[in-house]
C-alpha cells in the first residue's frame, strides 16, 4: 500500500507551551490533527475554568490562518481543587478532562496532588459530570526505581481508585510498560490508555547505548524492548481502549543538552508519519484510523472528525532542529528518514 485515506486524527495528549514557543510548536499539530487535548502544566498551571478559557483564546489567536484545529482544554488538579471548580469547568463545554499529576512526578508538576486519597469529592463530581480523569501514572517515592514507578502506581493507587469510583472515566496517559497495557485490558469499562509514538518506537537502549541521548528522555521514561513490543501490540490490535496521545513536549535545545536535561520529546512534526510507519511494520495499516481518529473521540463522547486526510508513502528527512521562540528545538527522529507523509491538500 502506498497511500491511505483516514479521518483526520486527534491527539489526546499535547503540550503546547505558551507565547512565542507555542506559536512555533502549534502549526505542526494544527496541520494534521483536528483536535488535541491540551495539557495544563504551564507555569503557573491551568487550574480553573477562567485560566483554561484564557489559554484557549491564546491558542486560537496563534493558529495559522484558516486552520480548523480545535484545542480541547484540561484542568490541572491540585490539593485545593474544589467540586465547584470541576462543575463549572464541565458545564462550560470547553474543559473536557482533568489531569492528575502526583506532585513532583514530572515537568511543572510541583503543585500537583500530594494526597490522592483526599481527592474523593473531586472524583465523585467528575464521575457525576462524566469528566474523564487523565492520570500521570507514576509514584514519586525516592525508594522506588524509576523504571518501576508506573507499575507500582498502578498496583497501589490506580487499581484501587478505578474500583472505588466505578463511574469515573480514567485514562492512563502515555502507557510505558507491559504492566500498564495488561492493566487496561483487564480493567472495567471506562478505563483506557493513550499511547505515544515515542513509547512505540524507543526502548531504554535508545537513551543509554552509544552515548547518552537526552532528546530521547521523557517521563515516563521509555522502558525495555519487551515493554515496547507490548505497547506496539496494544496500539495496533484494534482494541478501542487504546488511542493516540503524542505527549509531544518541546523543550529548547539549551534545556535538553545540559546537565539535568528536561524530560520531554517533541514529536508533533513527525508523530502521524511515524505512527503510520509502525502500523505498516506491524501489518496493521487497516487499524491506523481506529487508533488515530476514532477510538479516542469515542471514549470522550465526541463525533469523529468529518474531514479526511491522505497519508502517502514518501521518504522525507526530518530537520535537525526547528525554531522555538528565540531558541531551537530538536524534533523526534531529527536527521533521520520517515517513510510516510501527509499529502498536502
Catalytic positions, written as ranges: 247
Report the distance separating Cα 186 and Cα 339, nearest Å: 35
Nearer to Zn ion, 150 or 247 (CB): 247
Q: Which residue in the shown chain puts its C-beta closest to Zn ion?
A: 247
81 binds, among ligand DOR, Zn ion, none (CB under 5 to 8 A by kind): none
- Positive or negative CA dihedral for 132, 267, 17, 6? negative
Task: Give residue 101's region: left, alpha or beta (phi > 0; psi -120 to 50).
Answer: beta
Q: Nearest approach, Cβ of 18 to ligand DOR (angstroms)? A: 12
Nearer to Zn ion, 45 or 304 (CB): 45
Q: Nearest approach, Cβ of 112 to Zn ion (angstroms)? A: 12
Nearer to ligand DOR, 13 or 169 (CB): 13
Chain residues in the site for Zn ion (CB under 5 A): 247
Q: Nearest approach, Cβ of 217 to ligand DOR (angstroms)? A: 7
Q: Nearest approach, Cβ of 107 to Zn ion (angstroms)? A: 8
218 binds, among ligand DOR, Zn ion, none (CB under 5 to 8 A by kind): ligand DOR
Q: Nearest approach, Cβ of 149 to ligand DOR (angstroms)? A: 12
Report the distance separating Cα 271 and Cα 202, nearest Å: 13
215 binds, among ligand DOR, Zn ion, none (CB under 5 to 8 A by kind): none
The three three-digit cell numbers of residue 112, written as one number: 500537583
Chain residues in the site for ligand DOR (CB under 6 A): 15, 41, 106-107, 136, 218-219, 249, 263-264
Nearer to Zn ion, 198 or 241 (CB): 198
125 binds, among ligand DOR, Zn ion, none (CB under 5 to 8 A by kind): none
Nearer to ligand DOR, 219 or 309 (CB): 219
Amino acid at each position: 500500500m502506498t497511500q491511505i485515506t483516514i479521518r483526520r486524527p486527534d491527539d489526546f495528549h499535547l503540550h503546547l507551551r505558551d507565547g512565542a514557543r507555542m506559536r512555533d510548536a502549534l502549526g505542526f499539530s494544527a496541520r494534521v490533527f483536528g483536535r488535541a487535548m491540551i495539557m495544563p502544566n504551564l507555569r503557573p498551571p491551568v487550574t480553573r475554568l477562567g485560566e483554561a478559557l484564557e489559554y484557549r483564546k491564546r491558542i486560537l489567536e496563534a493558529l495559522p490562518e484558516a486552520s480548523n484545529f480545535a484545542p480541547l482544554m484540561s484542568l490541572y488538579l491540585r490539593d485545593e481543587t474544589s467540586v465547584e471548580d470541576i462543575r463549572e469547568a464541565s458545564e462550560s463545554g470547553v474543559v473536557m478532562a482533568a489531569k492528575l499529576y502526583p506532585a513532583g512526578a514530572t515537568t511543572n508538576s510541583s503543585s500537583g496532588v500530594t494526597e490522592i486519597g483526599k481527592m474523593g469529592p473531586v472524583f465523585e463530581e467528575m464521575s457525576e459530570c462524566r469528566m474523564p480523569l487523565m492520570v500521570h501514572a507514576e509514584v514519586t517515592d525516592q525508594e522506588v526505581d524509576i523504571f518501576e514507578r508506573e507499575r507500582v502506581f498502578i498496583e497501589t493507587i490506580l487499581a484501587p481508585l478505578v474500583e472505588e469510583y466505578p463511574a469515573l472515566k480514567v485514562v492512563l496517559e502515555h502507557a510505558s510498560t507491559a504492566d500498564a497495557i495488561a492493566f487496561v485490558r483487564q480493567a472495567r469499562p471506562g478505563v483506557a490508555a493513550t499511547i505515544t509514538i515515542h513509547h512505540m518506537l524507543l526502548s531504554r537502549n535508545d537513551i543509554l547505548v552509544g552515548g547518552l541521548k537526552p532528546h530521547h528522555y521523557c517521563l515516563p521514561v521509555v522502558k525495555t524492548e519487551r515493554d515496547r513490543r507490548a505497547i506496539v501490540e496494544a496500539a495496533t490490535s484494534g482494541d478501542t481502549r487504546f488511542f493516540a496521545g503524542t505527549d509531544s513536549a518541546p523543550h529548547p535545545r539549551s534545556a535538553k543538552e545540559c546537565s539535568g536535561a528536561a524530560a520531554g520529546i517533541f514529536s508533533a512534526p513527525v508523530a502521524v508519519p511515524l505512527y503510520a510507519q509502525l502500523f505498516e511494520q506491524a501489518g496493521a495499516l487497516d487499524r491506523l484510523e481506529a487508533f488515530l481518529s476514532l477510538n479516542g473521540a469515542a471514549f470522550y463522547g465526541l463525533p469523529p472528525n468529518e474531514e479526511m486526510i491522505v497519508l502517502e508513502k514518501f521518504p522525507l528527512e526530518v530537520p535537525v532542529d526547528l525554531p522555538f521562540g528565540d531558541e531551537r528545538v530538536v524534533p523526534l527522529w531529527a536527521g533521520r528518514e520517515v517513510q510516510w507523509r501527509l499529502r498536502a491538500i
